[in-house]
Structure 1
Amino acid sequence: MKPTVSVGLILLAVIISEAHARVRSQRDHRSASATPKNRRGSQKPITNGAHIKLNLTEVVREYIVKYIGKEVLNFSLKEQVGNEWPTVKAKTGELVYGDQCKKVTYFPDMDCSDYYIYYIYNGISSPFDLPINLTLSYKGIRNDTHELNINNASYIYWNPDNITMYPANTSQSNFSEEKCDFSIQVMFSGSFVYKVKDVEDDKPKEGSHYIGRVGLLNKYGLSQWGDEVLLYNISGVFTHTVTCTPKLNLKKAK
């Protein structure tokens, strides 16, 4: 029998390597921010950000030190440096699911509830919002679409009915689950600005530089699409569980 995991709608800093254990521990730490029962199915999915795989600002600094100048006086992806303004823009692609995902089963003669969680193993921290539209089924009767910002996120979860992740009594509950990899491509285009004390070649000590060239570091999962575009794939594992229990008989006993 799978362990019971009661998960309230709370924000919790989760280190990805401990995500499952931390999610289980939430059963004793429900907060006042939990959605009231009379608003079930209406709340927005939660994102949280304790574990970040890539810090874009620090990676750009690393690139400047390696390819432009050893002593960095200032640089920015969003703010003015000297007389220069950066032109970097961020764009998020579509959420893509792996082939392992299969449809879950809803039992029409039972009361079914959904539990969604996206464990983001390769996340990103950047100075930009990274919005995505997330469309999720609610009880198999409708699709709810939510706009979320996945910048700094280490996981996303949606538990609209505040249920347990796995049924406590499998003899009375039906349980269905799908699990697969997912990815979201993030694109940064334009130029960052910088100011360094010394350079070793003919590069200017102060100016702008295409962000796509940061991909020359050839690590952190970054890649470039020409000089102006830097690409990164946010990725992880998606799990959707459906727990169905017998419908309550609301007729009063005579």
Structure 2
Amino acid sequence: MKKSILQKVAVVKVPLRCIFLCEFHPIAGPKITCQIPDNYISKEIFDAVSVYIIPKAQLQRSILTVTLLGWKILGFPIRIDNKKYARNAFHFNLCFVCDAWARSAQYEPVVRKLSDHLVALEVEKQFLSKPQVHKTSLSTMLKQVMEDLNTYKICTLTEGPTTIHLKVVKLSKEPIPVQDYQVPIFIEDQQGFSEEQWDLTTNQVLPYIDGVNHVARIAAEADVENNLVKACVQNLQKISI
């Protein structure tokens, strides 16, 4: 996209202060492997939150937010299972950092989408687990993401044959009302969902969102109270699922 077009997009009101990637090293434990700007998050701050940044298995692929010492850290921890890794798994978390007072929900879909992109690159060519080969490419990528999202609210990344588009969507002050007759449709691939990332009600409702059933029918077939289904659909809409 041309710069002249990008400049017409409004500036983000809640800027990203830092983006960092951390991983669980089989010997050293949790550590930051790349961050933009360099050394923005100190080792002392990271050590204080690392147990939350690289969490237990049940919190994998869930949006996590930690607020500490003036910063809000937003992440989406990932575990890739494969025998080629030490301990048969590779753990990483891509994190966005904002001011502690800032509202960060608008970045959640971006963190999720960019994390899934990094998973694909790791599976394809060990983009993350071989930093000596790809560190420069990763640093360049994260720098572009931070600069473009802060300036234009959108970012286009190309790595080899793969291109992804990231966009910070303005959050509505009030949730959009959901009506009984409306038919919810997924815009994200359901194959990437896992039960651990949803609450019990959402897990009960998801199988009945098929692009055909309206809200009232979903409530009846899932045996869930109508108002709870509406709240569930509002939450999914809010995080651009």
Q: TM bucket by the smaller chain?
A: under 0.3
TM (norm. structure 1) is 0.21
Higher helix share: 2
Higher strand share: 1
Larger Rg: 1
